[in-house]
Structure 1
């Protein structure tokens, strides 16, 4: 389980220049420390502070490594300790501090400069996404309503964007293309809520905790426009008490969606992993606001 995940660890961090035998790295800063790892076999260094990030290399047991600073990431139980700290190496990749012998006082890693965001022309996309867009157009159209939802409810825009992509299949599902429902929001007792215009039945997949899925029919909300779907999604998460724990992690999108999933948002046991993978693959964290 993640603990207090900082946004900056998701930006591309690997800075390797290699020949067949040599890594070219910058000189070690004054705060750097030489440590060794304690692991059975070998330890994977990764591009970010969690095991789902790409592996850059393997470090053998007792091998010396120069580490320069620390970040918060995935909580692990290692051969040395239990911790959410990850250490950035002089090369620029990350190793879990749970496997590091010794405990040097490393400074917190400075976040990299934010990637520039090129805004699409206002006239290039309509207000909110539709079911007839390319993936690039869908994302460009979804950014504004996702960020407005974050201003209104504090739901991270990265979470909203990734859920919209996953739930609607980039806007191409029947539910989103025909009825502007981009989050699979259901009607309960045939009540559409404050933002939806009505309810309609659709076939859907429901899964058990063990991953066994069956097809069933459920009643879903329909909207006059896609922006109403985004507003309803944020308001639903904010207003329902079962999602309250997620709002302890509004600056930690990965843990936020994990808490939402745990509270019953989706029955797919891989839901958190799928959403996090989308946030990382498309760097959706860059659209989060400081609110």
Structure 2
């Protein structure tokens, strides 16, 4: 069996002074940008100032910093990383009329927050704002749901721009299973949409916003203990082993696959996301086959949240016959780790040794629970 490794993305922990990230629960749902008359007005409420960023989250590049009580004009709003601030806890980010995004958590409004329109365009990425257009010589049907069994509710002309908000895995059209949400009860197939210059990273509909890597090892353990124990009760895989695998395979949650798509175990799609994942995202990665390692692009499962990733991991180990022997030793985590390696979970001859070392170093056995 080949094993996959990800380049760890290490981010500064002081990405925005005064902002404390919290788990995000909502996925972006952009609509059309309203006219200038709908612009909102607010002022910054942060003693240390507020960073303007190139996108709706702390992983995006910092642009100019706004001073406390600085006045801002808001063009539109998007949903992104949840932030705890001086005014509120929110996933809302606002695009400024001067460019860039700021968290709504630190803004005091002088106009109505609810009247600010949603942003139509995807967040700015390197190379400019990507544009999606209909790639047909005739109109593209817009449907009320992601599939041809749903009612036709409109059409987009050939070459028309497509205001993509998020994507869903559904019925295949010309071999492509991805559909784009472009507004309430409005969907189009990805098969006939072209991106210029290239498709940006897009969220899956219903997916929690990206999470910053935990500030410490203890914070990471606190983040994953609950999902690991929930999976252990449902499927019987020792939580101590599950957490050790998550540490080893996600780099303490710092891989992009983990932070953006909530995949803690490098679980691949093999053409289908399965019953628990939302879809399949493509990543550049490295694989090793024996002593030879090489770079590839492959598809990995994208989850709604960390809990679903842990559940899918437990489900796979409990249901696949090759791990039957390991499951017989669910009450002995170290023996379980050894049997995982013997079953071919990873080709590294020291995989079990690494897991056991992590379990001992961080006393992960304290997280073990009985199966329900």
The answer to whether the 8 A contact 1:125-1:141 is kept is: no
Of 256, 263, 276, 1:181 maps to 263
CA distance in 2, matches of 1:268, 1:214: 15
Residue pairs, 1:212-227, within 5 angstroms: 212-227=292-307
CA distance in 2, matches of 1:204, 1:238: 27
Pick closer, same or farther for the CA change 1:160–1:288 going to 2, 3 Å.
same
Q: SS of 1:214's equivalent?
A: strand
Pick closer, same or farther for the CA change 1:215–1:187 going to 2, 3 Å.
same
| Correspondence 1:285 to 2:365 | yes
The answer to whether the 8 A contact 1:131-1:176 is kept is: no
The answer to whether the 8 A contact 2:245-2:265 is kept is: yes
Cα deviations across residues 148-191 of structure 1 (Å, max 9, x unaligned)? 11110110000111111111111110100111000111111x10
The answer to whether the 8 A contact 2:261-2:303 is kept is: yes
Cα deviations across residues 3-27 of structure 1 (Å, max 9, x unaligned)? xxxxxxxxxxxxxxxxxxxxxxxxx
Residue in 2 aligned with 1:242? Answer: 322
Residue in 2 aligned with 1:100? Answer: none
The answer to whether the 8 A contact 1:131-1:173 is kept is: no
CA distance in 2, matches of 1:234, 1:282: 21
Pick closer, same or farther for the CA change 1:125–1:151 going to 2, 3 Å.
farther
Residue in 2 aligned with 1:204? Answer: 285
Cα deviations across residues 87-133 of structure 1 (Å, max 9, x unaligned)? xxxxxxxxxxxxxxxxxxxxxxxxxxxxxxxxxxxxx9749994431
Q: Which moved more, 1:126-135 or 1:190-199?
A: 126-135
Cα deviations across residues 29-78 of structure 1 (Å, max 9, x unaligned)? xxxxxxxxxxxxxxxxxxxxxxxxxxxxxxxxxxxxxxxxxxxxxxxxxx
Of 185, 189, 192, 2:273 maps to 192
Residue in 2 aligned with 1:156? Answer: 238
Larger Cα Rg: Structure 1 or Structure 2? 2
Name stretches of at least 5 consecutive residues in structure 1 with no aligned partner.
1-123
Residue in 2 aligned with 1:145? Answer: 227
Query: How far 1:221 moved relative to its partner?
Result: 0.5
| Correspondence 1:268 to 2:353 | no
Comparing both structures, which one devotes a greater share of its residues to strand?
2
The answer to whether the 8 A contact 2:232-2:370 is kept is: no
Pick closer, same or farther for the CA change 1:272–1:216 going to 2, 3 Å.
farther
Q: SS of 1:207's equivalent?
A: strand
CA distance in 1, matches of 2:298, 2:233: 31
CA distance in 2, matches of 1:191, 1:172: 25
Q: SS of 2:328's equivalent?
A: helix
CA distance in 1, matches of 2:323, 2:350: 18
CA distance in 1, matches of 2:343, 2:293: 19
Query: How far 1:145 moved relative to its partner?
Result: 0.9
Comparing both structures, which one devotes a greater share of its residues to helix?
1
CA distance in 1, matches of 2:360, 2:289: 26
